Chains A and B, each alone.
Chain A
Amino acid sequence: AQSVTQLGSHVSVSEGALVLLRCNYSSSVPPYLFWYVQYPNQGLQLLLKYTTGATLVKGINGFEAEFKKSETSFHLTKPSAHMSDAAEYFCAVSDPLGNEKLTFGTGTRLTIIP
């Protein structure tokens, strides 16, 4: 079984400051890892994903995440927050040998302070 823990249901950062959203996972097999963003009343948009290879993954909108196997983490970062980054962010994990099913974390609401 797989699970995802997102520390901090709400995170507030000032515009221009570093964004750090935490994600830890539990998986019995090397997982695929994802970060999705959700704007109000919309579906989810993929920010980035890790499958294999380079552990530092770059995504859209200036976001990146690093897969750290030893820490079972996949934290999401962005060097400089923008007002448009305000949204809900979900970390997810899937089993590469499974049926594409995603297991989501509980989400982190990011607020940007002007």
Chain B
Amino acid sequence: GAVVSQHPSWVICKSGTSVKIECRSLDFQATTMFWYRQFPKQSLMLMATSNEGSKATYEQGVEKDKFLINHASLTLSTLTVTSAHPEDSSFYICSAGPSTDTQYFGPGTRLTVL
């Protein structure tokens, strides 16, 4: 079946540094990818919609200058957490799908900011 990968699977960084997370669709092209954030024992909250070749669409309350999204190709979207702080520590998950009724989720990236 279709697979979505994320890299890295976990990352620890110091406060004030930036962290880049990659999301790749391995066997299909995705003009749209989604980035979610999940706090411990909570549901997924959509952060933004990543659009290939254009600007991402951010959900209300999500700082676009802090969470930079780049969708440079039909198989790759990146999320960069800029000037990370401890409150940015979370589980970040991306999804992509070959059609409107099928979304595949990546395995997630656990970010810990010290």
Contacts and interface: CB of A to CB of B under 8 A. Distances in A.
Interface stretch (A13-21, A64-72, A74-82, A96-104): A96-104
Contacts of B110: 41
7 contacts: A34-B103, A43-B108, A51-B101, A96-B101, A99-B49, A102-B34, A105-B43
A32 B100 CA distance: 9
- B interface residue count range (under 10 / 10 to 19 / 20 to 34 / 35 or more): 20 to 34
Interface of B: 4, 6, 32, 34, 41-46, 49, 91, 93, 95, 97, 100-108, 110
A107 B100 contact: no
User: What 5 pairs between A and B have smallest CB-CB spacing?
Assistant: A43-B105, A44-B105, A43-B107, A106-B43, A104-B43
A105 B91 CA distance: 17
A22 to B, nearest CB: 15
A109 B40 CA distance: 12
Interface of A: 32, 34, 36, 41-46, 49, 51, 90, 94, 96, 99-107, 109
Contact of A101 (B46, B93, B102): B46
Contacts of A103: 46
A109 B105 CA distance: 19
Contact of A49 (B4, B44, B101): B101
B51 to A, nearest CB: 9
A31 to B, nearest CB: 11
B38 to A, nearest CB: 9
